Homo-oligomer: A and B are copies of this chain.
Amino acid sequence: MFSLPQLEAFVAVAEELHFGAAAERLNMTQPPLSRQIQMLEKKLGAQLFGRTSRKVELTAAGATLLPRARQILDMCIKTDLDVRRVSSGQAGTITVGYTAIAGHSALPLMLRRAAENMPRVSFVLRELVSTDQMDGLVKGNVDIGLLRPIVARPGVVSRPLMQDRLVVALPEGSSLLGTMAPRNGEPLPLGFLDRLPLLMYSTKEARYFHDLVLRLFASAGAHANITQYASQVPALLAFVQAGLGVTLVPASAMAFAPAGVEFHEIDGRNGVQELNRVELELAWNEETANPAVLRLLELIKPPAGDGIESPGGA
């Protein structure tokens, strides 16, 4: 098979139709160039140039080779560039796992950031509950996870990305709270939820929320009267909308709540404030060899107040 330098030599001669000029263009002297062309012709078993001491011209075989040689060389250059880009993280593919809520808060922020700084990187998006994301991170199906702080599997590391708080969600105009409850807009002590029908996070897929809600109830001395389980916030909100009970959801879920649901901030007194923190973490496999992932992690690293922060106020 011919070599790439030979193709370059051929293209130069074919364009200049002059061995001396072509040699100069290739930064070499004329004799080795002549030899390279001869070698190429020998390897191809084809005369590429008709040459006398007076003029050089392409043969039919040479004319056939010229566009193909250009194409091959072009492709080599492009390949070189692409590989460098992927290797340096300027291009590539990142698979992001994210929870339903993160899909409306952290994910768009991250994608916007990435689009600005890593335009050649494409993303594969997978909505997954935190535990499935963790599995994916171990197996390599997922490069970056936007998930709740659950117990990490070996090799997976994480860091806090956003903080949020839970708010009370209940059917609009409901009388569940009783007449003693504060009006709309006033923070609501959790005691008012004592023994009310509670729509709860499942222990398996949403253990983090499950445990958090139980802790909050316990700290307020309220009894959790669980009447339904669901693993995803939108499902819980649908139950609320249907009037089946109350629940606690992250404040960022208010942005995509269905009509017929109203929200109350939770009264933070008596230590509730300190407990009411929902963490969203950024997780990745520490052995990842995907340069685009490493670059993204660097990019998302909070550079003193310029990072992604807690959204949505009361």
Check A76 against B2 for contact (C-beta < 8 Å): yes
Note all chain B residues with C-beta closer than 8 A to A3.
3-4
Q: Which A residues form the contact surface with B (CB < 8 A)?
A: 1-4, 44-48, 50, 59-61, 64-65, 68-69, 71-72, 75-80, 82-84, 86-88, 91-93, 289-292
Q: In the complex, A2→B78 CA distance in Å?
A: 12
Closest approach, in angstroms, between the C-beta of A218 and any C-beta of chain B? 47
Check A83 against B61 for contact (C-beta < 8 Å): yes
Query: Which residue of chain B lies nearest to A60 when distances are taken between CB atoms in the complex?
Result: B290
The prevalent SS among residues of A at the interface is helix
Note all chain B residues with C-beta closer than 8 A to A60.
86-87, 92-93, 289-292
Check A80 against B47 for contact (C-beta < 8 Å): no
Query: Which residue of chain B lies nearest to A44 when distances are taken between CB atoms in the complex?
Result: B83
With A2-B80, A4-B4, A64-B82 in contact, do A289 and B72 touch (Cβ < 8 Å)?
A: no
Q: For the complex of A and B, list the 4 residue pairs with the smallest distance between their C-beta atoms, beginning with the closest.
A: A46-B87, A61-B87, A68-B79, A64-B86
Known: A48-B83, A72-B75. 10 other contacts (CB 8 A): A1-B77, A46-B84, A60-B92, A60-B292, A61-B86, A65-B79, A68-B82, A68-B83, A69-B79, A75-B75
Check A83 against B46 for contact (C-beta < 8 Å): yes
Closest approach, in angstroms, between the C-beta of A36 and any C-beta of chain B? 14
